[in-house]
Amino acid sequence: MKKILVLTAFLLVTVIAFSSPKIVLNMVQVFTSPSRTEVLQNIINQFEALHPDVQINLISPPYSTAYQKIYLMLSTNQPLDIVEVGDWSLEGVVELGKLVDLRPYIATWDASNDIVPGLMKAVSVTGGIPYIIPNGVYAKALFYRPDVLAKYGITTPPKTMDELYNDCLKITNPQKNQYGFDFRGTGLPTNFIDIITTSYINDIDPNNMYKLTNGQLWFKDPRALEGLKKYVDFYKYTAPKDSINWGFDEQVNAFVAGTTPFLFQDPDTTGLLNTMLKPDQWMTAPLPVGPSGKVYPSYGFGGWGITTYSKNKDMAWEFIKFFTTPKISAYFCKDYGALPVLKSVYESDPYFSQGVFKAWQYMFEHPETYVFTSYPLSNKKWTEWNEYQQDTMQQVLLGNMTPQEALNKWYDFWKDAFSM
């Protein structure tokens, strides 16, 4: 009887041992949404099917608190192998010292030559070291609702900031809860502020959004004051008053409802809109240009990194490589809406040069007008900037500060940060 019990126990332990995953990877995303989570889980399932000895646990904190979660997990060495980081927070996360220098992995990775030119340099914001592999590229375009605009006789998207503003004024009617511009008041609205403000300036340094080509900061330039006043006017006269508190979710909801039919957003918004609107209810266009004849969008990116304390770094890298294959990259970007990071995807898949993606293609092909400009992500003051600019801008929108006072504060913030 004892032999039978011992044998049974042995077999039970053996079955459990062989049925349990040998490798468990914990992976956290930062740009969480229901549709994105579903896409990521499908990719994980495909990877697990190819690697039966691997289990990946996807952690999906709400977007509004995702970085708080990531900072806590990293700083306390909580179980985490793969971490997603966006461009504007990369420097701060790297400073924790918990991300692996990926150069040794990249050196033996054949697909590294397929990455969009300049993108790996863009992600290497700290000392030229790549701590993440990009999973998607982002850049603002103009989203609009042709069905809503047609009711007001607007049949083509505006090509200039003045045209956009006048179209927004034309359709704004607070009594009918109808407004023009889908304003972004919170959730780090830096890009929205800068796109309109700098469109009044024709000599922004492409290497630094806050400098002119002569090396000077533009915050004391009268053209900047004119541009910032226009940004404030968009809020005061063409947007709902409560949009001072709107972040991404509120923007998308208002756009879908038709309350605000003009929206500046990134390509990842396309994935959401595909599930919330009919194809003929929305479209994209190039960003409107300012009086300067130019507009200054910027490349954004997110990517996957590996924690220094992971016990399964090599397997984590295998997943990142799998994610960055043409098939998976195209699937992720189509369903989520980001622009692909691989050249081969653009060459082999016409999806990314048609329909709603034509707006980005047009901007990429006309760099003299759509001047893609870099933010100073590696500057030590960057981690403080987004919230500081948001807070001062809020005071302007509330009438507690003038646009000129805000520009003076921004100048004081950056004046000693760059070598002039």
Taking only the tens place, the pLDDT of each residue in 352-381 is 878 899 999 899 889 999 999 989 988 989
Residues 371-419 have pLDDT tens digits of 999 899 889 899 899 999 999 999 999 999 999 999 999 999 999 998 6
For residue 76, the 8-state DSSP code is T
- Give the mean pLDDT of the chain: 92
pLDDT at 18 over 60: no
Residues 265-277 have pLDDT tens digits of 999 899 889 889 9
For residue 287, the 8-state DSSP code is P
- The one-letter code for the residue type at 264 is F
Residue with tokens 């000077």: 216
Highest mean pLDDT among 16-25, 60-69, 121-130, 203-212: 203-212
Residue 227 binned pLDDT confidence (cut-offs 50, 70, 90): very high
Residue 15 binned pLDDT confidence (cut-offs 50, 70, 90): very low
Closest CA to 135 of 351, 325, 274: 325
Q: Between these two residues, 140 and 377, which has the higher pLDDT value?
A: 140
C-alpha to C-alpha distance for 318 and 309, rounded to whole angstroms: 17
**Among 1-5, 116-120, 297-301, whose mean pLDDT is lowest?**
1-5
Helix axes 161-171, 222-238, angle to 10 degrees: 20
What would you report as the CA-atom Rg of the chain, rounded to the nearest whole angstrom? 24
Q: What is the mean pLDDT of residues 63-92?
A: 93
- The one-letter code for the residue type at 298 is S
pLDDT at position 109 is 97
Closest CA to 328 of 360, 358, 304, 354: 304
- The one-letter code for the residue type at 84 is E
Percent of the chain scored above 90 by pLDDT? 78
pLDDT at 87 over 80: yes
Residues 316-354 have pLDDT tens digits of 999 999 999 999 999 999 888 889 999 999 888 988 878
Q: What is the mean pLDDT of residues 165-179?
A: 98
Q: Between these two residues, 149 and 300, which has the higher pLDDT value?
A: 149
pLDDT at position 72 is 95
Q: Between these two residues, 125 and 61, which has the higher pLDDT value?
A: 61
C-alpha to C-alpha distance for 319 and 325, rounded to whole angstroms: 10
pLDDT at 242 over 70: yes
pLDDT at 19 over 60: no
Supply 102's token pair.
């990926």
pLDDT at position 268 is 87
**Among 2-11, 27-36, 402-411, whose mean pLDDT is lowest?**
2-11
Q: Between these two residues, 260 and 300, which has the higher pLDDT value?
A: 260
Percent of the chain scored above 70 by pLDDT? 95
Highest mean pLDDT among 12-16, 116-120, 381-385: 381-385
pLDDT at 34 over 60: yes
pLDDT at 16 over 90: no
C-alpha to C-alpha distance for 99 and 83, rounded to whole angstroms: 9
Residues 101-110 have pLDDT tens digits of 999 999 999 9
